[in-house]
């Protein structure tokens, strides 16, 4: 098997092979959102919709590392996890809508960057919470219904993102992991023979990111 060199970096000593297999796609996606698409800086406020997922937790950590104020939208034990990562504010979507003007702690307003990791109507709902000339980043690409029209009408920039192989991002992520500056949650591991059951459970939302192991 061969691979272009830009797809590869040395695995940090602090993680095992299964964890290393699960890191590149979500972590590179988060890097390209934070560093490339949004160019997040220390004076900005970032709202992350779907912050409790794998990509979301990486986005939170990378934005916080740049000094941004980060608001995360999640529920359950994922709220506590986000708080352990140093997030500035959380919104429990089972208790409150993120765009509720009567949101406890005050309404969310004038954010600089919205990262929508959910799709559907969420990005459009976030446009009024975004400052003029702010940015809404939609991931997965093309699943934000009506975002272009709503953002343009409000004077808000918008973009979608499809992750691409990125040696610079992988090197940066690997260095953070090696230095203990990025928390990585080990994935579940299942044998390749269970692939059908794994896909069914993931489709039903009953299973988190899973690495399939091929037995020699």
Domain contains 12: no
Do 148 and 208 reside in the same domain of the chain? Answer: no
Asked whether residue 140 falls in the same domain as residue 38, the answer is: yes
Same domain, 151 and 200: no
Q: How many domains, the chain?
A: 2
Q: Are residues 71 and 155 in the same domain?
A: yes
Closest to 47 in 3D by CA, of 120, 140, 116: 116
Tens of pLDDT, residues 88-120: 999 999 999 999 999 999 999 999 999 999 988
- Domain carrying residue 112: 20-160
Confidence of residue 169 (pLDDT cuts 50, 70, 90): very high
The CATH number covering residue 156 comes to 3.40.50.720
Spatial contact of 189 and 210, defined as CB atoms under 8 Å apart? yes
Examine the domain organization and report whether 44 and 119 are in the same domain.
yes
Specify if 102 maps to a domain.
yes
Residue ending a domain, choose from 115, 143, 160: 160
Pairing of strands 111-116, 89-92: unpaired
Give, for 47, the enclosing helix (H) or strand (E).
strand 45-49
Least confident of 13-17, 140-144, 167-171: 140-144
Are 68 and 145 within one domain?
yes
Q: How far is CA 173 from CA 144, 183, 184, in A?
A: 28, 10, 10
Is residue 72 helix, strand or coil?
strand
Helix spans in the chain (H): 17-22, 24-31, 54-65, 77-84, 122-126, 147-154, 167-178, 195-203
> Given 142, 160, 178, which residue is the final one in a domain?
160
96 in the same domain as 43: yes
Tell whether 166 is covered by a domain: no
The answer to whether residue 175 sits within a structural domain is no
Domain contains 124: yes
Q: Are residues 74 and 114 in the same domain?
A: yes
* 101 in the same domain as 26: yes
- Give percent above pLDDT 90 in the chain: 78
Regarding whether 125 and 74 lie in a shared domain, the answer is yes
- Average pLDDT score, the chain: 93
**Residue 61 in domain:** yes
Q: pLDDT tens digits, residue range 136-167?
A: 999 976 688 899 999 999 999 999 999 999 99
pLDDT in tens, 198-210: 888 878 766 677 8
Which pTM value belongs to this model?
0.93
Instruction: Name the domain boundary from 122, 142, 160.
Output: 160
Question: Is 86 a member of any domain?
Answer: yes
Tell me, yes or no, whether 15 lies in a domain.
Answer: no
156 and 191 part of one domain: no
- Tokens found for residue 59: 């986005």
- Could you tell me if 33 and 92 lie in one domain? yes
């Amino acid at each position: 098997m061969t691979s272009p060199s830009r797809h590869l970096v040395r695995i940090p000593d602090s993680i095992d092979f299964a964890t290393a297999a699960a890191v590149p796609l979500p972590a590179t996606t988060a890097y390209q959102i934070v560093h490339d698409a949004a160019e997040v800086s220390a004076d900005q406020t970032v709202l992350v919709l779907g912050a409790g997922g794998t990509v979301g937790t990486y986005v939170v950590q990378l934005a916080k590392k740049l000094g941004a104020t980060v608001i995360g939208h999640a529920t359950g034990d994922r709220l506590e996890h986000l708080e352990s990562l140093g997030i500035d504010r959380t919104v429990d979507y089972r208790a409150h809508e993120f765009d509720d003007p009567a949101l406890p702690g005050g309404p969310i307003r004038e954010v600089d960057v919205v990262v929508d990791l959910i799709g559907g109507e969420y990005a459009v709902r976030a446009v009024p919470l975004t400052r003029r000339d702010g940015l809404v980043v939609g991931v997965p690409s093309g699943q934000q219904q009506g975002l272009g029209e709503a953002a343009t009408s409000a004077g808000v920039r918008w973009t979608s993102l499809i992750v691409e192989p990125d040696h610079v991002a992988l090197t940066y992520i690997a260095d953070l992991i090696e230095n203990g500056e990025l928390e990585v949650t080990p994935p579940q591991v299942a044998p390749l023979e269970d692939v059908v059951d794994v896909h069914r459970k993931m489709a039903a939302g009953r299973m988190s990111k899973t690495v399939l192991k091929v037995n020699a």
